[in-house]
Amino acid sequence: MGASAWLWALFTVIAAFSQTVRNAAQRQLTATLGTVGATHVRFLFGFPFALLFLFGVLIAGGESLPHPPLVYWPWVLDGALTQVAATALMLAAMSGRSFVATIAYIKTEPVQVALFGLVLLGDAVTPLLALAIVIATVGVVVMSLKQGATGGLRPTLLGLAAGAMFGLSAVGFRGAILSLGLPRFLMAATFTLVIGLLLQSVLLSAYLWLRAPKVLAAILRAWRPSLFAGFVGALASQFWFLAFALASAASVRTLALVEVIFAQAISRFVFKQPTTSREALGIVLIVIGCVLLIWAS
């Protein structure tokens, strides 16, 4: 097993943990900034950190910026736009369900991303990988069915739709990274992160400037918590993109289900929501699925 087989898994776990912290920070901001405002925070305040990451790669590697081919732009646009939609849907769902239940519905994503990756990128789905996806996804579904986490049909559908959009985003960004054809994955991933966050920041800033300038002003006033959410968001995205450069989107997003375990810890210790036996069973299934996934790789 080569180094890249382990690297993508390490990158994914770091990304999942950082994303869980970012989700919790964004959830806190939703009350004051609204869904769109809290969504924009991860992009607007994450972009400067992405630039710092790219600057570091340029200095450390002695490389020049890549020249993207024409095919790069549809991929990166797909990744950027569907990620905006996914984040907004996720935060809207969080307003109607418990934190961990929302994450559980969103994390039905691996089944969808496996299909998207197969159709759009030709990423193979082996029988063992399919089994890992099914077991881990069943784990998050089991967790989502816990008692006391009711919120109605609307937040459930929002969570499932967010999962689909995150799946399309993962495939889009992986397609963009691969289309660069660079020998070093670090530059391809970091450059794509900067381009994606630039597109997202400009798009949402323009939208808020035209439709809700008070929200844009409120975002700037809340710069301290927004800066933290932006940093952990950029950090998570950096490691997601590094993982996408080395492994299929289905593999990355299935291992990313460890985020549900991180979310459970935050739900318990930050939001004071107790862990049930059903959630414990779900965690066991997720772990089994992730172990099979690593074995399949």
pTM above 0.75, yes or no: yes
Judged by DSSP in three states, 125 sits in coil
Mean pLDDT comparison of 16-30, 44-58, 243-257, highest-scoring range: 44-58
Give the lowest-confidence range in 10-14, 80-84, 182-186, 276-280. 276-280
Grade residue 125 by pLDDT with cuts at 50, 70 and 90: confident
Q: How confident is the model at residue 216 (pLDDT cuts 50, 70, 90)?
A: confident
Q: Which residue has the tokens 């986490």?
A: 149
Q: Using pLDDT thresholds of 50, 70 and 90, give the confidence band for residue 190.
A: very high
Distance CA 142, CA 123 (A): 28
* 61 vs 64: CA distance, rounded Å: 9
68-72, 200-204, 272-276 — which is least confidently predicted? Answer: 272-276
Q: Give the pLDDT band of residue 1 (cuts 50, 70, 90).
A: very low
**Range(s) of the domain holding residue 123:** 3-296
CA 76 from centre of chain: 15
pLDDT tens track for 92-110: 776 655 555 666 677 677 8
User: Is 127 strand, coil or helix?
Assistant: helix
How many structural domains are present in the chain?
A: 1
Residue 46 has pLDDT above 60, yes or no: yes
**Residue for token pair 């790219």:** 54
Question: Please, are residues 283 and 260 in contact by the beta-carbon 8 Å criterion?
Answer: yes
Dist. CA 77–CA 79, nearest whole Å: 5
pLDDT at 136: 82
d(CA 76, CA 263): 28
**Encoded amino acid at 1, one letter:** M
Diameter of the chain by CA atoms? 55
Task: Give the pLDDT confidence score for residue 283 in this predicted structure.
Answer: 77
For the stretch 2-27, pLDDT in tens is: 555 678 889 999 998 888 788 777 77
The pLDDT of 167-195, averaged and rounded, is: 93
Helix (H) or strand (E) holding 45: none
